Amino acid sequence: MKLNKIALALFAVTAAPLAANAGVTISPVLLGYHYSEGADDDQVDLFKAGADVNSTGVQDGIYKEDDLYTGAALGIELTPSTQFQVEYGVSNADGNVVNGNGNSLGSAFDVEQEMISGNFLVGLEEFTGYTDNAFKPYMLIGAGQSKIKVENKNAYTTTDAIKAAPAGSTLPAGTEVSESKDTIGNLGLGAMYRINDALSLRGEARAIHNFDNNWWEGMALAGLEVVLGGHLKPTVAVPPVVEPDVYVPPVVVVEEDVDSDGDGVVDSLDACPGTPMNVVVDERGCPIPVDITDELKMELRVFFDNDKSTIKSQYQPEIAKVAEKMREYPNSTARVEGHASKTGPSARYNQRLSEARAVAVKSMLTNEFGIAPNRLSTVGYGYDRPIADNDTEEGRAMNRRVYAIITGDKTMTVEQTKDMVVQ
C-alpha cells in the first residue's frame, strides 16, 4: 500500500499560509481498512479482463479485494465543534478474477482506488451544547469522486475486446484493462480525543455509497489530527456594563429674543419654529421652497435563446425594475430595440425575429406592469447591428438581444438648503 506523495505535498503547501489562523486542521496520515466485499458482484459485471478461460461465452470479470487505505486531510473549523475537510486517499489491492461459471481464478490483477471528497464533521455537541470533555464524538457527511483502475500482473492474450485492446491482442504486464470514475457519498460516525489544544487522536467508521454503480463500501480508519493556531473557542456573551444613573439638574436660561432653532429669526417673530439649521428661511422663519428637476436615464438588456422571442424568467425582475422607474417618472419613454444573430434562413426572417423580440418586451411592460403603449416604441434591426462575432456560439448568444433606453424627468418641490446651488 503506498501513500500518494503528491497529495501530501499539496496539503503541506496549502496549509503553510493558513498556519497563522486558528481552526485550520491537518490529518497528515489516515490509516484504515477498506471493505468492498459487498460490491463484488457489481464489480465483476463492470470490470472485464478480455478473456474467457472456460469458453463459457462470458468474459471473465474482476473484483477488488478488501485492503488497507491510506490518506490525508486538510480542514477548517467552522464552529468550535464542526469542521469541513478535504480528504484524499488511496487503496491498492489484488483484483480477483471470476470466470463465466462464477468460479474464482485467483488474483491476477492489481486494482488501485483513489478517492477525493469534501466532508463535514459535525460535532454532536452542536445538539447538546459545548462541553469541556476531551472526548468529542462527531457525525460525518460528504461527497466526492472515486477512481478505480485495473491492471494485469502478467502478460496474456485477449479473447474478447476490452478497453485496453481488441480480441487477439497480447497485453504486457502492467496494462490498464478497465477503469471507472464515479460519484460517491460518505456517511459515518467517529470521535476525536483531544490530547491538547493542538493534537487529537481520531477514529471513525464510514459507509461509502457509489451513486453511479449503486453499490456500498465500508471503511474503518484512524489517524492523528493537528490544529494550527489552536481550536476555535465558543463565544461567551458578556453582559453590558450598566452605568449608574447620575442626576444632573437642568440649566434654565432666561433670555429675551432667543433664536432657539438658529435660523436667524428670533423666537418672538418665528412663525415656523424648529426649522433645521441648514434650511434657507424667509423673514418669518419659514422654509423657502424650490423646484428641482431629476432626470432619468437607464438601460435594459434581455438575451434570448436561438430562434426564440420568449422572455426567460431570469430577466423578468429587470423588466419589473424598468416598469417601476417609468411609473415613478410619468413622462418617461422607452425605445426598445430588437436584434438577432446571423443563424436564420434569411435576412427577412431575422428581421421579423428581432421585431418579435422587441414587441415581447413591450408587451410585458404593457400587459403585466401597466405601462401605457404610447410610451413605448419598438424597432427591429435583424442582424445588422451585432455587438459580438457571429462566427462563434458565444458571439451569437450576445447578439440575440433586446436593448432598451429609458429616459425622462420629474420636477419636485423641496426645501431650499444653504448648500444647494440655485441656478
Per-residue pLDDT reduced to its tens digit, 242-272 = 777 777 777 665 556 788 887 778 887 888 8
pLDDT at 9: 47
- Is 241 part of any domain? no
Q: Which of 262, 261, 198, 208 is CA-nearest to residue 231?
A: 198
- Is 420 part of any domain? no
Q: Which of 97-106, 213-222, 340-349, 410-419 has the highest mean pLDDT?
A: 213-222
Cell of 293: 428637476
Are 185 and 271 in a shared domain?
no
Are 353 and 267 in a shared domain?
no
Are 33 and 158 in a shared domain?
yes
Are 165 and 300 in a shared domain?
no
End-to-end CA distance of the chain: 84
Quote the mean pLDDT of the chain: 86
Are 81 and 201 in a shared domain?
yes
CATH of the domain at 52: 2.40.160.20
- Is 385 part of any domain? yes
pLDDT at 417: 79
Are 217 and 337 in a shared domain?
no
Phi-psi region for residue 11, left (φ > 0), alpha (ψ -120 to 50) or beta?
A: alpha
Q: Poorest-confidence range of 20-34, 172-186, 296-310?
A: 20-34
Phi-psi region for residue 83, left (φ > 0), alpha (ψ -120 to 50) or beta?
A: beta
Quick: pLDDT tens for 36-93: 888 888 988 899 888 878 778 788 899 999 999 999 999 999 988 899 999 999 999 9
Domain count, the chain: 3
Quick: pLDDT tens for 43-53: 888 998 888 78
Are 18 and 153 in a shared domain?
yes
Asked if 396 and 314 touch (Cβ cutoff 8 Å), the reply is no
Quick: pLDDT tens for 173-225: 989 999 999 999 999 999 999 999 889 999 999 999 999 999 999 999 999 99
Are 146 and 17 in a shared domain?
yes
Cα dihedral sign, 126-128-129-133: negative
- Is 287 part of any domain? no
- Is 286 part of any domain? no
128 contact partners, CB below 8 Å, separation of at least 6: none
Mean pLDDT, residues 112-122? 96
Across-strand partners of 275?
A: none
Q: Residue 234: is its pLDDT beyond 90?
A: no
Are 215 and 260 in a shared domain?
no
CATH of the domain at 348: 3.30.1330.60
- Is 288 part of any domain? no
Are 260 and 339 in a shared domain?
no
Determine the Cα–Cα distance for residues 338 and 306; give it in Å rounded to an integer: 14
| H or E segment and range at residue 5 | helix 5-15
Cα dihedral sign, 40-42-44-49: negative
Question: Predicted confidence band at 14 (pLDDT cuts at 50, 70, 90)?
Answer: very low
Are 153 and 258 in a shared domain?
no
Q: Is the pTM of this model over 0.75?
A: no
Which residue range(s) make up the domain with 63? 5-228
Are 377 and 255 in a shared domain?
no
Q: Which of 171-180, 228-237, 358-367 has the highest mean pLDDT?
A: 358-367
3-class secondary-structure state, position 204: strand
Question: Predicted confidence band at 129 (pLDDT cuts at 50, 70, 90)?
Answer: low
Query: Phi/psi of residue 48, each to 5°?
Result: -110, 145
- Is 239 part of any domain? no
Q: Which of 192, 200, 198 is CA-nearest to residue 228?
A: 198
- Is 235 part of any domain? no
